Amino acid sequence: MDDRIIKTEYSEVMQKSYIDYAMSVIIARALPDVRDGLKPVQRRVLYDMHELGIRHDKPYRKSARIVGDTMGKYHPHGDSSIYEALVVMAQDFKKGQPLIDGHGNFGNIEGDGAAAMRYTEARLEKITQDAFLADLDKNVVDFVPNFDETEKEPSVLPCKIPNLLVNGSEGIAVGMATSIPPHNLGEVIDAVKAYMLDENISTRELMRYVQGPDFPTGGIVTNKDELLQIYETGAGKIKIRGKVEKEKGKNGKTNVVITEIPYPMIGANIGKFLSDVAALAETKKTNDIVDISNQSSKEGIRIVIELKRDADADNFINMLYKKTRLEDTFGVNMLAISDGRPETMGLKQIIKANVDFQFEVNRRKYETLLAKEQAKREIQEGLIKACNVIDLIIEILRGSRDRAMAKACLVEGATDGIKFKSKESAVMAGYLRFTEKQADAILDMRLYKLIGLEIEALINEHEETLANIYRYEDILERRASMAQVIMNDLDAMKKEFSVKRRTVIDNCEEVVFEEKKAEEMELYCLIDRFGYSKTVDIPTFERNQEAAVSENRFVFRCKNTGRICLFTNTGQLYTVKVSDLPFGKFRDKGIPLDNVSNFDSTKERLLLAASQGDLNLYRLLFVTKQAMAKIVDGGEFDVMKRTVAATKLQDGDEVVDVSIYKEQKNIILQSKEGYFLRFAVEEIPEKKKAAIGVRAMKLSDTDEIEAVYYTRGTDDASIVYKSRTLALNQLKAAKRDTKGTKVRG
């Protein structure tokens, strides 16, 4: 048994295993090949459809059949990933040039997913057949065994266009990701031709043809001058805006209409955009919106925002660019597999890789075609030669005992055993020297081939074969001839499949939005015990004052232009803009504080909420679990940061109480073990917020502060402690930092 146990370093095994896994994901799943611009799953889906005969001019077939066949033969992974790849290749709003013709619900630009694969159907697009799969039968690419070595699949498709640029690609591997925008087919083809004519062409000169990305959703690229750097390095950020128009609405109102969206807004982000626009109205960032409607359809995007009659439409549009995703960024990282390894490439490198691939594919194609034509020439020459001595051949056939004897005579001139009509025929037969293939063709030839017209057709076909051989040899021997063939193919592709550019490329000025200052007004902020907050105006509060105080934990006045401060048991201070809280009706639920601040109600408790303006007028009292206390000037909490430390804590300590110091005379500390200490608040010194404070009460090692109470002079405040009513002012007065009095239930 011991001789079968391999002893090795665990870290080395893990390192090797992880590297193997990472390379498998990078090479075999997540990144496209620079030659055909396809990931393995996409390539396998297209090849499987080709094998199944699902051509563009044939009936659609169920997507489930395609997915199942692909999974069973070529791609041993989940059916959902295969179907998702198929769906994306059929979506014209994601791909500049869809490769699959989908029939049924294949999702939409607003983020609705495709129907289940059992409901949808698909077939290949014509461009896929013509540009990706046309020459697979001509030995143009290598075929490799599939995962179980029962089938063969192409290692790459013989793509005639730079698909990596035309359709772009997105994928996340291990430790790397690719993000390549789609481009215009016609422009890319022109750039490829320009490179073929001058391989020393610069990226700047190539950009005379490829202006920039051409997103299927249109839009406006606003940083034209930065594109050169992006295309030289293969990385950068493209800024893109949606296209907005102004239309006359009813009753003299203006409608702002979004007709094109930024490419990153595809999917659920359209819904988020609508929510963001609605939020601008709800939070009073703008009072110009009357109505929002999404009128998008199969004809295109149409989001209509109706504005008030006196609204500044241009300023509102600028606000949309600033405050929503109507202006967004597309991160470019042109990473692809080149020569078996991932590489970030610029525009020229991608075009070069594709051109080199085209020359390799065409070399193999024309070598295959040349070999076929040379084989045809051999047969044709044999048949023509046979027609000239047909009488002798017929005499050989009639005088031979079997096919082997006749073939030996035709190939080697062997006449033994053959009965000839004359000695002259035997002598002539001895000089015959047909090749093996020619002899087989002669023996298989039918008699009707001896008709005059058939012989003439054979001669014409032979001349055509000789012309093809001459042409193929010229293409293979002269690079210029092959380049012309490639460019002719590209021209044919451009003529049939190119479309007009959809994305505008420009240098646009930074959007300037003049935010109107909100009219300052007094409000009441209400925060309930669940942490839901809202603001109401003063008349609304006064009409519902009793309910507001009884139903909410914190109730205080604030200004709509100010901030509120949230103090927690962890010693943190979180600030929230009052304008971020919903303003409206008294019975509205409000919004969780977690949603508008860094406060996390699952990990910490809210001890005090107050207007930042009020804190500037007062001081704050802090008491911690370990009985540390201090008074801090409220002005120290007039900060703009969303999160700051409100106090310094010792290890294992937390804040028990934070109170605004107004009229409190006495402080009463209650410990977990039942000790109460009452002393004057003025004994607590004022400290900075970064200080720990002073000890307010002596505690045993197992005891801690549980509650804090305050009294104002001679008031008769009382609490219930262990079913006993306890008058706070009747507790024995003592000094700070003493043990206090034990109270029993």
Instruction: Point out the residues that are catalytic.
Output: 119
State the CB neighbour count (10 A cutoff) for residue 233.
Answer: 16
Kind of pairing, strands 254-260 and 705-711? unpaired
Q: Which among 167, 162, 126, 186 is positioned nearest to 500, based on CA atoms?
A: 186
State the CB neighbour count (10 A cutoff) for residue 130.
Answer: 18
Question: Is 384 strand, coil or helix?
Answer: helix
Question: Is 229 strand, coil or helix?
Answer: helix
Tracing tokens 């289940």 back to the chain, one arrives at 116
Instruction: Compute the C-alpha angle 657/735/707, nearest 5°.
Output: 25
CA 305 to the chain's CA centroid: 28
- C-alpha 580/C-alpha 39 separation (Å) is 45
Query: Cβ(644)–Cβ(570) under 8 Å?
Result: no
Question: Which phi and psi angles does 63 have, rounded to 5°?
Answer: -60, -35
Q: Is 154 exposed, middle or buried (0-12, 13-18, 19+ CB in 10 A)?
A: buried
* Sign of torsion over alpha carbons 590, 595, 601, 604: negative
Q: Which amino acid makes up residue 131? A: A
- C-alpha 469/C-alpha 464 separation (Å) is 9
- C-alpha 534/C-alpha 593 separation (Å) is 10
Query: Cβ(293)–Cβ(277) under 8 Å?
Result: no
* Sign of torsion over alpha carbons 609, 611, 614, 618: positive
Q: Is 652 exposed, middle or buried (0-12, 13-18, 19+ CB in 10 A)?
A: exposed
Tokens of 186: 């016609």
Question: Which phi and psi angles does 326 have, rounded to 5°?
Answer: -70, -20
- C-alpha 411/C-alpha 205 separation (Å) is 62
Query: Cβ(67)–Cβ(85) under 8 Å?
Result: no
Query: Cβ(731)–Cβ(711) under 8 Å?
Result: no
Tracing tokens 């004994």 back to the chain, one arrives at 683
- C-alpha 524/C-alpha 556 separation (Å) is 6
Tokens of 4: 């079968």
DSSP state of 5: P
- C-alpha 535/C-alpha 471 separation (Å) is 84
- The region, left, alpha or beta by phi > 0 then psi within -120 to 50, assigned to residue 193 is alpha
State the CB neighbour count (10 A cutoff) for residue 612.
Answer: 21
- C-alpha 152/C-alpha 146 separation (Å) is 6
Query: Cβ(704)–Cβ(635) under 8 Å?
Result: no
Query: Cβ(349)–Cβ(365) under 8 Å?
Result: no
